[in-house]
Amino acid sequence: MGIKITIVGSGSTYTPELIEGLINKKDSIPLDELYLMDIDERKRTIVGGLCERMIRAAGMDTKVVLTDNLGEALKGASFVLAQIRVGKLPARILDEKIPVKYGMIGQETNGIGGFFKGMRTIPEILKITKKMEEHCPDAWLINFSNPSGMIAEAVLNNSPIKMMGLCNVPINTIDSIKKQLDLPNAYVQYLGLNHLAWVTKIEQDGKDYLVDAMQAGLNSATMKNIPTLGFSRELIQTVGAIPTCYLEYYYHRDDKLKHCLENEKCRGETCLEIEENLLEIYSNSELHVKPELLSKRGGSRYSEAAINLVDAIYNDKQEIHVVNILNKGAIPFMADNDAVEVNAIIGKNGATPIMTNYHNEHIEELMKTIKAYEKHAVKAALNGDIDEAIRALMINPLVFDHQKAWDCFHELMEAHKQYLPQFSKYFKENQDKE
């Protein structure tokens, strides 16, 4: 008997990545029904059309349904893959461009830009989990909407739904390190929070190659969607672990800010152009494969990461994957209910985090700082509490300054007003004052 998989936010130009993954796994994942849900009719139709052609070209008789009805899409689903972007790319562009005016990095998952993406996204993801309780309470939610770590923190501590957060940075990082060291069978210990993680062990045949890698100044993989400088040998040795690429926003903050200030076009604007080009390509009724241009969007190997995860759960494979889950003692210096990004054994009962027994004061202190920021941010997202929001931003190393936080926060609030219903009391009070 086959299963139903639902993709929420199926109008994303990333969706053909997922379909490619499902086609590659058609022998191990019996896909009876595929529901492609999105509120954007144009994108749902164009992207959904390509996805259906890909399914048919692969000889699969899967029922494919395009819909804007969330309840219909969720009913009876075994897996729900969420990749939503509230406010679409124009909202991301505001997240990137407005902070720069205040001398802060604008980025879609880090700093105040990432904060506002969380404010828009967390309430919508929790609406999805509420609907899942009604229509598919036993389904797995696999989320790769950003900010993935903050969303995992919100869902895992506020919903009964089974959920894992996913990112494509770990799979690219781990494979890059194995390739560079020619250690195809190595166990690579990946540890941290989403977009704040380090490689802390590279073990094969009983030997740990981490020190050798650090002495060589080995860098992890870079991502297409962020400009990278790389890390010096000195920095890596000082940290005592290999940082992943997003840590450049913390370790090279001034250079990153300089890049934001000097570039006329932000990454969101580039993505918008790529997206429109992709939609035009997808519209070709003869096309039935994922086009090469998609690799330029930054979602490389999402299909592999996401569908391999589905495969591991469905077929109880007891494989190791890197996911965002509750810590439950895996990282000794983090609380059990902290959402962390770690290696875990995946099977039909979900994820069992692999204990790390790892201690590194620098990593511990930075992780605890960003986790405190995330926890305040989640409270702000749930309750529309302005004080919680500002407290969160004053903790974040990419903001920190109260005046900058206050001024930029209020400008971004106004810019995203239509997507922030939890702050309606604040908007009403401000309107009354006027």
Do residues 156 and 194 lie in contact, with contact meaning Cβ atoms separated by under 8 Å? Answer: no
Token duo for residue 341 = 């990004």
Catalytic residues: 246
The residues that bridge with 344 in the sheet, in sequence order, are: 321, 353
Q: Which helix (H) or strand (E) is 137 found in, with range?
A: none
Pick left, alpha or beta for residue 357 (phi over 0 → left; psi -120 to 50 → alpha; otherwise beta): left
Residues 396, 386: Cα–Cα separation, whole Å: 16
Query: What is the chain's percent helix, strand, coil content, to nearest 5?
Result: 50, 15, 35
Token duo for residue 212 = 């050798």
Q: Which residues contact 360 (CB under 8 A, 6 or more apart)?
A: 198, 200, 239, 240, 241
Nearest to 309 by CA among 156, 171, 132: 171
| DSSP single-letter state for residue 408 | H
Which amino acid, one-letter code, is at 53? R
Angle at 73 between CA 14 and CA 166, to 5 degrees: 40
SS3 state at 203:
strand
Token duo for residue 234 = 């000195």
